[in-house]
Amino acid sequence: MTVDMEIICVGNELLIGKILNTNAHWLGKQATNLGVNVKRITVVQDIVDETADVIREALRRKPQFIIITGGLGPTFDDKTLESIATALGRKLDVNQKALAMVKTKYEEYARKRQLPTTIELTPPRVKMATLPEETEPVNNPVGGAPGVRVDLEGTTLFALPGVPKEMEAIFAETIAPLLKQAVGDRVFCEKNMFLDDIMESNLAPLIVKVMSDNKGVYIKSHPRGTENKSHIEIHLTTAAKAEENPMEMLEKAARELAILVKENGGKTS
């Protein structure tokens, strides 16, 4: 069974081009490599109602997993927890477990820098531990803001900090093992090949035929040439059970495509 995931990235800085959305790229690649089917990536402003609407829409599609990144910090524009609460119709409340996590992280920070370890839980710090009711804080191995988990009728939703090293650490420690368990023995495989002397418009129907002949194999063409020379990268992918020999599936599709390309005046390189 396919395990579906949606990714929601929150932040005005992503939409205006101030920061490149590397989190979406990293999460998509990691999840895909684990055999998960990433169906949608959405970027939304730091506006509570906007983000809440996006969360509700994703939940209606019932993916097994939703990962939200960004908006868990102490500043005024970190509104993801409020957005989740709004989407779920729940209140925000200080979560004592999350508060202890925040306090511990700041104490560790102080010790490493030989500062006083008496930590004041200021309103911005308490804010990071103010979670929607009936959600579970998730350990952040790197930073101060805990992640959040909530299980909702077949969908597990995680909210992660937007700082890449924090997001990556929580994913590796907490989420990746869950995805592996959900996916089971399903694996993702990919193969690249390069074609010359054939135009992409002539290649398109050949790709359609090969995909029709090789169910489960997806083929995408990426032009890499110049105005005067055709050079196309072909990316073949599939996700299947290991016993189905997915790499052999790709090799078979690649051989068929190479033959068709040659018959149409092109060549592999």
> Can you tell me which residue has the tokens 């700041």?
106
4-183 matches 187-268 in fold? no
Say if strands 65-69 and 4-10 run parallel, antiparallel, or are unpaired: parallel
User: 80 near 66, Cβ under 8 Å?
Assistant: no
Distance (Å, rounded) from C-alpha 266 to C-alpha 139? Answer: 54
| Exposed / middle / buried, residue 228 (Cβ in 10 Å: 0-12, 13-18, 19+) | exposed
Each domain of the chain, given as residue ranges in start order, spans 4-183, 187-268
Amino acid at residue number 12: N
What is the reported pLDDT for 229? Answer: 87
The residues, any chain, with a CB within 8 Å of residue 94's CB and separated by 6 or more, are: 126, 129, 130
- The parts of the chain modelled with pLDDT lower than 70 are none
pLDDT tens, residue by residue, 190-243? 999 999 999 999 999 999 999 999 999 999 999 998 878 899 999 999 999 989
User: 186 near 35, Cβ under 8 Å?
Assistant: yes
Domain 4-183, what fold? Answer: Molybdenum Cofactor Biosythetic Enzyme; Chain A (3.40.980)
User: 51 near 117, Cβ under 8 Å?
Assistant: no
Query: What is the pTM (predicted TM-score) of this model?
Result: 0.91
What is the reported pLDDT for 160? Answer: 98
DSSP state of 77: T
Residue 260 dihedral angles phi and psi, to the nearest 5° = -65, -40
Please state which CATH class domain 187-268 belongs to: alpha beta
What is the reported pLDDT for 56? Answer: 98
> 62: left (phi > 0), else alpha (psi -120 to 50), else beta?
left
